[in-house]
Structure 1
Amino acid sequence: MPLADRLADADQLSDDRRECIETCIEAAEVCEWCADECLGSEEMEECARLCRDVADIASLHARLTARNSPYSEQLAEVCIDVCEACAEECARHDADHCQACVDVLEACVEDCRKMRSS
């Protein structure tokens, strides 16, 4: 069963929280891919570091949000900050993996903001 279907069954979650969880998981996945692709290139070290940070923070944020942790709101701020920093760095590079990151990270920032304000 796809994640979206399983999350739809979680009655305690608002639509904004469900979307945020899905986008955070997607951000973690694309950033793991991007970081792996950047390894070994001195020019891409900062990109790899930020991608690894996003992967860790976004996946933690998804888990805390899924269980309605009172700390998910605070972690949303950190997730937004690191996603913005990573998107800015990835936008500097033409590689497909970096450009994929930018798209997903922008969506993650938007969904975290919506969740936080709902």
Structure 2
Amino acid sequence: MSNQNYQDLLETLHDCMTACNHCFNSCLQEDDVKMMAECIRLDRECADICSYLESAISRNSPFIKELATVCAKICTACGEECKKHQHDHCQKCADACFKCADACKKIS
């Protein structure tokens, strides 16, 4: 399957990575950073796997489906953690994570 066939997923991955990076940075500014530790950790994991899968798709890796399965799992975990927090950045990140997990599940 060519990169063009993955265009929607590439955009979703990029949007999720951006949302996670924003959430990560915003969580570091919160008054109780310790309370946000798991959110911060999962934001990093999620941003990294989204970036890696985006890169793998661009080079037509033979492991795209397997990576998408892992990406969906991490995105779901990050979304579940982010939705626990009422901060706007966490809620937006959760939405992006769940959308990305769904998109990854469609190809895995």
TM-score (norm 2): 0.90
SS class of match (1:94): coil
Percent of aligned positions with the same letter in both sequences?
38
How far apart are 1:75 and its partner, in Å? Answer: 0.8
How far apart are 1:20 and its partner, in Å? Answer: 1.1
1:33 to 22, 35, 41: 22
Off by >6 Å, runs of 4+ in structure 1: none
Once the two structures are superposed, the pairs formed by residues 18-97 of structure 1 within 5 Å of their partners are 18-39=7-28, 41-97=33-89
SS class of match (1:19): helix
- Which residues of structure 2 form unaligned runs of 5+? none
How far apart are 1:38 and its partner, in Å? Answer: 1.0
Name the residue aligned to 1:12: 2
Task: Please give the root-mean-square deviation of Cα atoms over the aligned residues, in Å.
Answer: 1.5
TM-score (norm 1): 0.83
How far apart are 1:113 and its partner, in Å? Answer: 1.4
Q: What is the identity, as a one-letter code, of the residue corresponding to 2:98?
A: E
CA distance in 1, matches of 2:65, 2:43: 21
Q: What is the identity, as a one-letter code, of the residue corresponding to 1:32?
A: N
Number of residues of Structure 1 aligned to a counterpart in Structure 2: 105
